[in-house]
Structure 1
């Protein structure tokens, strides 16, 4: 249902759907950074290219959106070198753009992943953008994870 809602809301962006199925491994890769869903439960997933596809304007946006169609879970993915604050802003801007849409409202959980070449300990004081993103994700039963490339999420 949530995947069909996305398709209906974004008919003109059908070409941005890079994958729709239930394969065991569902990867994306860009600039030597990679994220994959290890779909051991064989749920139906869609992978949507956000950057330079769904959102083409010169504004901040994340790279990909994974949609677990069966469980109504969204995963916003930013593949980033080391600029984590910029990645947080990109995900936050993307969430703000999508949260008015039915597919987002109908989601059960929303997670965000920053896949980086380097993962440092978080600073003692979090920037306001990080606090806003954490709050937004917690309101949708999710969280932000900053992980090192290559990363594989098991579902």
Structure 2
């Protein structure tokens, strides 16, 4: 089952079963990559400046049409609390288009600062994701420079 809203949207860069899905800003070192080993259908959607124009928003949304999951991605300098706010705001606006989807949040920073991991914004986003996903699992992850996952 797919998601027509994102599959047909003008802000969607692609929607197919390619082997690598890469979210990266032009001329940036920070990168989020999915290795698509089992040919699942993914859509890469530009959120910042396209899907959402006003207010806080994350950079990208990757929709896994095969497994009905969505990954909100923010590529950030070092300010984790602000990245969490941007993902939270995007999730609030786009959640209605992702019914019954498992929602993940991924933050890729250029450098990590330990105190930010316990910020109220990070805690709030973690709680929101657990509530949406009806699970106690942690759906928010962050890494420095390069974040790669296999699906």
Note whether the superposition's TM-score is higher than 0.5: yes
Gap runs ≥5 in structure 2: none
TM-score (norm 2): 0.87
Deviations 1:43-75 (A, max 9, x none): 000010000001111x11000000100100100
- Over 3 Å counting, the alpha-carbon distance change for 1:123 and 1:52 in structure 2 is closer
Task: State the match for 1:88 in structure 2.
Answer: 84
The answer on whether the counterparts of 1:137 and 1:143 sit within 8 Å (CA) in structure 2 is: yes
Match of 2:130 among 127, 133, 138: 138
The answer on whether the counterparts of 1:24 and 1:42 sit within 8 Å (CA) in structure 2 is: yes
Name the stretch that deviates more: 60-69 or 140-149: 140-149
CA root-mean-square deviation: 1.8
Task: Compute the displacement of 1:127 (Å).
Answer: 2.5
TM-score (norm 1): 0.85
Number of corresponding residues: 145
User: Within the alignment, does 1:15 sit opposite 2:7 as a pair?
Assistant: no
Runs (4+) of structure 1 exceeding 3 A deviation are 120-124
Task: State the match for 2:94 in structure 1.
Answer: 98
Task: State the match for 1:111 in structure 2.
Answer: 104
